Amino acid sequence: MKAVQKLLTDRDQLLRNYAQRADDETRIQINKINADIKRLFIDSKRSRWEQLCSKLDYKIRNSRLWKLAKALYRVQPKEDNSNSVTKSNGSPTIDDKEAAEELVKFYSKESRLTFNKEDRKVGKLTKNLVKTCRKVSISNHLFSDHITTSELIYVIQELIIKTLLDPTTFTDNFWKTLDHMVESAFCTFLICRGRRVLPEQWKTAVILPVRKPNKDASSV
């Protein structure tokens, strides 16, 4: 290509001049020549492809078609990786603050979950179930008040069952069951002592009034 060769010669001369005396006019001419060379190469490659495709017949089994497809895949324009942050309209950000705001918008969209109709139905049922479990319809709000540690200790001291029963009248199986019940009650006591509130399921149990220490018999 004579036109390209002439442009290459002119560019070499301008590069030598620019090395001796760097000025803006010479630099602009070099950039213009580089753009002309690139455009000529693109036109030449396009004409070669058109000439090659015009000689191919898709009805004939020819390996040149596969070679052409592979060549087209190789010449696809590649995307260059960039570490700059751009806005939604494609313009670059001007400072770190604006870049951070664009990153926040991007990751907020990426992390947003999409729920279909079935997912929303399950979520609604779950919320209603949780709300129902937290509500207990009772008229007596005795156990809704916080209790003190001394009150719990007093109730446990009143439940000294083994000292009131004759050990010879009961079997070993009964005592094993009783030990398990006492152990379970003690674990419940430790939990209540930490939370200072009686368990939720106790609110639906049968309430037996227990006299509090240092109070008269009419007080529960």
Q: How far apart are CA 57 and CA 53, in angstroms?
A: 8
Half-sphere exposure of 149 (CA within 13 A, CB side): 5
**Residue 163 burial by CB count (10 A; 0-12/13-18/19+): exposed, middle or buried?**
exposed
| Residue 220 banded pLDDT, cuts 50, 70, 90 | very low
Angle 188-192-194 (CA atoms, 0-180°, nearest 5)?
Answer: 120
Supply 155's token pair.
Answer: 């109730």
Q: What is the mean pLDDT of the chain?
A: 69
pLDDT digits (tens, 9 = 90+) for 47-90: 887 777 776 666 666 666 667 666 766 655 555 555 667 777 77
Q: Residues 177-195: pLDDT tens digits?
A: 656 666 666 666 655 555 5
Mean pLDDT of 129-147: 59
Residues 6+ positions from 95 with CB-CB distance below 8 Å? none
Residue 31, pLDDT above cutoff 80:
yes
Q: Is the pLDDT of residue 99 over 50?
A: yes
CA–CA dist 158, 151 (Å, integer): 11
pTM attached to this predicted model: 0.28
Question: Quick check: 137 pLDDT over 80?
Answer: no
Query: Given a cut of 60, is residue 28 above it in pLDDT?
Result: yes
